[in-house]
């Protein structure tokens, strides 16, 4: 099935299933130095708020990159993922000694988890796909419900304003014929759902989340992929230091494919 056919699938969960038969999550965060920037930045922020032994829920866990990282560092990890293909990719990475709970399910219903049972909840994916605002709020409410008082919630979004440049890099006619409103620069929400920085803030405010941190997790690393991948280790270390230096500057926040918000319920 191609993306044109997938676009016409009305049921959101069924659409997500098909999207991840086209987009492969397996190596998205680890296939290159440039691809690693998002992961390294996200983990660096999360680790400021949690300690080994804490309970983490990874909702929309994909191929398990975050779940496996934290489980192998001694955190107690539960992972929930919707798409068959990503569950398969996740299971393929599991080693006999990995101790984590992986289930297939939907972020809209976390009733299998008890209220106030996790120190941290990661919502790294469902908000890339839920197109209805009420569903987005329900998903945030579920994450809040299972998070302990004082626990931390981590939300990621795809940045509307930067993806325009990423698309331009892939298609030289994107500015004239791309799928976005030519006046407001609002992207069509397919195959992902896109948010401006202000829209993220407004959604989290409506969801009763107090935002503590806002981070541009990958910045321009996809646009600069070739250059970054050609760096030697010392160059890459220094690129990362530069990225960490700029990634929370408010004036640069939207200039990133992915945005991370840290909050409390
Ligand atoms: C781009 S991937 C991100 C995977 C991983 N969390 C990461 O950050 O690399 C988005 C993930 O969210 C999952 N997802 C989307 N909607 C979901 C929902 N309603 N419930 C659970 N998972 C969902 C997708 O199947 C996919 O694995």
**How many domains in the chain?**
1
pLDDT above 90 for 1:
no
Average pLDDT over residues 151-171: 98
What spacing in Å lies between the alpha carbon of 62 and ligand 1's midpoint? 5
Taking every pair of Cα atoms in the chain, the longest distance, rounded to a whole number of angstroms, is 53
CATH of the domain at 144: 3.40.50.150
Average pLDDT over residues 57-65: 98
Q: What is the mean pLDDT of the chain?
A: 97
Domain of residue 208 covers 3-264
In the chain, alpha helices (H): 3-7, 12-22, 33-46, 65-72, 84-93, 133-146, 160-170, 174-177, 197-206, 225-229, 233-246
Average pLDDT over residues 94-116: 98
CA dist., res. 171 & res. 184, Å (int) = 20
Pick from 40, 214, 6: nearest CA to 129: 6
The binding-site residues of ligand 1, defined as CB within 6 angstroms of any ligand atom, are 16, 20, 25, 28-29, 60-62, 65, 81-83, 86, 106-108, 124-126, 128-129
Residue bearing the CA closest to ligand 1, atom 22: 60
CA dist., res. 225 & res. 169, Å (int) = 11
SS (H, E, C) 165-195: HHHHHHCCCHHHHCCECCCCCCECCCCCCEE
The residues pairing with 121 across neighbouring beta strands, listed in sequence order, are: 57, 153
Taking only the tens place, the pLDDT of each residue in 67-85 is: 999 999 999 999 999 999 9
Reported as a pLDDT band with limits 50, 70 and 90, residue 226 is: very high
What spacing in Å lies between the alpha carbon of 238 and ligand 1's midpoint? 31
- Which pLDDT belongs to residue 98? 98
pLDDT above 90 for 209:
yes
CA dist., res. 80 & res. 12, Å (int) = 17
pLDDT above 90 for 145:
yes
What spacing in Å lies between the alpha carbon of 82 and ligand 1's midpoint? 7
Collapsed DSSP state (helix, strand, coil) of residue 107: coil
What spacing in Å lies between the alpha carbon of 88 and ligand 1's midpoint? 13
Asked whether 43 and 52 are in contact (CB, 8 A), the reply is no
Reported as a pLDDT band with limits 50, 70 and 90, residue 96 is: very high
Taking only the tens place, the pLDDT of each residue in 109-139 is: 999 999 999 999 999 999 999 999 999 999 9
Pick from 93, 43, 22: nearest CA to 63: 93
DSSP state of 50: -
Residue bearing the CA closest to ligand 1, atom 1: 125
Structure token digits, residue 114? 């008890």
Residue bearing the CA closest to ligand 1, atom 16: 126
Residue among 42, 82, 140, 157 to mutate when testing ligand 1 (max atoms within 8 A of CB): 82
CA dist., res. 225 & res. 227, Å (int) = 6
């Amino acid at each position: 099935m191609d993306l044109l056919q997938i676009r016409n699938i009305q049921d959101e969960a069924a659409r997500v299933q098909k999207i991840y038969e086209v987009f492969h999550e397996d190596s998205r965060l680890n296939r290159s130095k440039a691809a690693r920037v998002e992961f390294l930045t996200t983990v660096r922020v999360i680790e400021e708020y949690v300690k080994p032994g804490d309970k983490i829920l990874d909702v929309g866990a994909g191929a398990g990159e975050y779940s496996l990282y934290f489980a192998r560092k001694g955190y107690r990890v539960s992972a929930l993922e919707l798409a068959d293909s990503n569950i398969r990719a996740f299971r393929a990475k599991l080693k006999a000694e990995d101790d984590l709970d992986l289930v297939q399910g939907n972020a809209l219903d976390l009733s299998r988890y008890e209220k106030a049972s996790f120190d941290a909840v990661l919502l790294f994916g469902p908000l890339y796909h839920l197109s209805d605002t009420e569903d987005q709020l329900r998903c945030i409410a579920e994450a809040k419900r299972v998070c302990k008082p004082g626990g931390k919630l981590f939300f990621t979004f795809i940045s509307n304003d930067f993806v325009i440049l990423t698309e331009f890099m892939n298609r030289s006619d994107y500015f004239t014929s791309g799928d976005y409103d030519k006046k407001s620069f609002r992207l069509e929400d397919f195959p992902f759902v896109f948010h401006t920085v202000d829209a993220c803030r407004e959604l989290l405010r409506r969801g009763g989340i107090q935002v503590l941190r806002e981070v541009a997790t990958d910045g321009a690393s996809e646009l600069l992929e070739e250059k970054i991948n050609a760096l030697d280790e010392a160059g890459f270390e220094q690129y990362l230091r530069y990225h960490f230096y700029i990634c929370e500057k408010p004036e640069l926040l939207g200039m990133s494919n992915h945005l991370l918000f840290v909050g409390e319920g």
